[in-house]
Amino acid sequence: MTTALAPALTPTHLRFLEQLFPGEGLVTKPEEMAVFGADSSRRSALPWAVVRPRTEDQIVELLKWAEAERMPLVPRLRGTGMSGGAVPAFGGVVVSTLWLNRVLDINAGDFCAEVEPGVVTAEFQALTQKQKLFYPPDPASLKISTLGGNVSTCAGGMRAVKYGVTRDYVLGVRAVLPGGKICDAGGRTHKNVVGLDLTRLFVGSCGTLGIFTKLTLKLLPLPESSATVLAAFPSLVAALEGAKGVFRAGILPTAMEFMDATACRGIAQIKDVPWPDNTQAVLLLKVDGSASALAEDIIRLEQALSRANPSCLLKGLGPKEEEPLWEIRRLVSPAAFQLGPDKLGEDVAVPRGKTVEAVEGFQAIGAENNTHVACYGHLGDGNIHVNIIYDAADEGQRTRAKACKEAVFRLTLSLGGTISGEHGTGITKAPYVSWQLSETERELMAGIKQVFDPSGILNPGKGWV
């Protein structure tokens, strides 16, 4: 039976932490801890203390102690999560594993790498490329988030259409469990069917099952070349038809992103844009592969898009020409603030055949509630970012924004979709998990949580837990 968690940190607890984490390894001043209590969800809470382990041994000792004391622990890396997963909203000690940041091995023979959780994703990718190897997962936050955070949230990215998400590149996870036991799930082989797939269970578990200390990641050969095409359309339907045409032509793009009229309007307020004023949607597609295959793919891609009558079609060959086109895409999220000071950033996903219905429905929800709703994102995966833009200081706008969010979730679920395609449930979507998961599914998940963390000390109150 679960016993109540410790309600606060006592002087005895503090003495233990001071011994285990000497010097800068322990942070207790509120003004220094504040930054460890927030993430990109714009939620925050003050931790009871922050510990910064340098070794796995320290984490083992911490988890033995925490289990005995029923001390809540909230694992944390760069705090770029969008759902409050690293926010100690229900109290506890924040465990920052950012100092575990070594790349232990990049092996071209095994096509795998071993890393500690605190390695920044883009820095790791740059290292793999030096050996002509490729780690595809590319969340838009790749320059500021870590591999540990990406694995813990199962981060997606733009290249998911062709290459899949973080889950598809995790071969093994080493994690310390409550009580201090180490679980070394998976390993360096690209196939492994002995027993249940504990590795996959850790991926996307948002710090609720164990604290990662090492990850084994799968690598691919680095594609020789790449190209990007931007196409603007005078109607949403034409853009979405253009996207369908690409798949119909037998092309599997590396990335297929889209931005609706509201998103395009936001960007146009902060940057000179290449599309005409009457643009209702923009598609951005990337292809990669050998130089010879790519030349042919580009021609077929342009032909497929042209059939949907774009008002503008631009092409970038190779990273230098492609970069300005992708820079436009990266501006969408910040540009949303041109339309209002606050936003609810949802990341629903629908079956790929339902994207037109979904986007039209989300836009209608915005119009019905007199609220800006900008849709953009990973069209190729059916993963639509729905930004509901409002002013939180205005009660009417706040109420309408919440109504929009709930209507967006309802429509998504009615189309057979999910309320989160990549950001996870954390605290922001926790109240809606039961809208999607049945009682049976939630009971199974609670049972799994109980096996890993019988006292419920790891990241309490997050998502399905």
Ligand X SMILES: Cc1cc2nc3c(=O)[nH]c(=O)nc-3n(C[C@H](O)[C@H](O)[C@H](O)COP(=O)(O)OP(=O)(O)OC[C@H]3O[C@@H](n4cnc5c(N)ncnc54)[C@H](O)[C@@H]3O)c2cc1C
Nearer to ligand X, 136 or 139 (CB): 139
C-alpha 14/C-alpha 1 separation (Å) is 27
Nearer to ligand X, 139 or 366 (CB): 139
Q: How far is the CB of 389 from ligand X (least distance, A)?
A: 16
Q: How far is the CB of 440 from ligand X (least distance, A)?
A: 25
Nearer to ligand X, 100 or 304 (CB): 100
Nearer to ligand X, 340 or 421 (CB): 421
Coil/strand/helix, residue 151? helix
Q: Which two tokens stand for residue 82?
A: 């969008």
Q: How far is the CB of 245 from ligand X (least distance, A)?
A: 25
Q: How far is the CB of 137 from ligand X (least distance, A)?
A: 8
Find the radius of gyration of the CA atoms of the chain: 23
Q: How far is the CB of 368 from ligand X (least distance, A)?
A: 28
From the list 199, 279, 271, the residue with the least C-alpha distance to 234 is 279
- In the numeric block, the tokens 């679920």 are attached to 413
Q: How far is the CB of 395 from ligand X (least distance, A)?
A: 28
Coil/strand/helix, residue 249? coil
Nearer to ligand X, 161 or 298 (CB): 161
Pairing state between β 93-96 and 49-51: parallel
C-alpha 417/C-alpha 435 separation (Å) is 11
Nearer to ligand X, 310 or 377 (CB): 377
CB atoms near residue 155 (< 10 Å)? 29
Q: Which two tokens stand for residue 53?
A: 């382990």
Query: Quick one: DSSP state of residue 180?
Result: S
Nearer to ligand X, 75 or 266 (CB): 75
From the list 207, 161, 141, 160, the residue with the least C-alpha distance to 462 is 207
C-alpha 50/C-alpha 316 separation (Å) is 46
C-alpha 401/C-alpha 408 separation (Å) is 10
Q: How far is the CB of 280 from ligand X (least distance, A)?
A: 24
Query: Quick one: DSSP state of residue 106?
Result: E
Element (H, E) at 333: helix 332-335
Closest residue by beta carbon to ligand X = 149
HSE of 106, CA atoms in CB hemisphere, 13 A = 18
Nearer to ligand X, 79 or 91 (CB): 79
Q: Which two tokens stand for residue 123?
A: 């820095």
Measured between alpha carbons, how far is residue 325 from residues 168, 315, 385 in Å? 27, 9, 19
Q: How far is the CB of 249 from ligand X (least distance, A)?
A: 26
Nearer to ligand X, 168 or 224 (CB): 168
Q: How far is the CB of 319 from ligand X (least distance, A)?
A: 19
Pairing state between β 93-96 and 73-76: parallel
Measured between alpha carbons, how far is residue 246 from residues 45, 152, 203, 254, 423 in Å? 46, 33, 31, 12, 27
CB atoms near residue 415 (< 10 Å)? 18
- What residue ranges bind ligand X (CB under 6 A)? 39-40, 74-82, 85-86, 97, 117, 139-141, 145-146, 148-150, 152-153, 155-157, 206-207, 211-212, 333, 422-423, 459
C-alpha 216/C-alpha 218 separation (Å) is 7
Nearer to ligand X, 116 or 260 (CB): 116
In this structure, are residues 96 and 80 in contact, taking their beta carbons and an 8 Å threshold? Answer: no
Q: How far is the CB of 120 from ligand X (least distance, A)?
A: 8
Q: How far is the CB of 299 from ligand X (least distance, A)?
A: 29
Nearer to ligand X, 218 or 423 (CB): 423
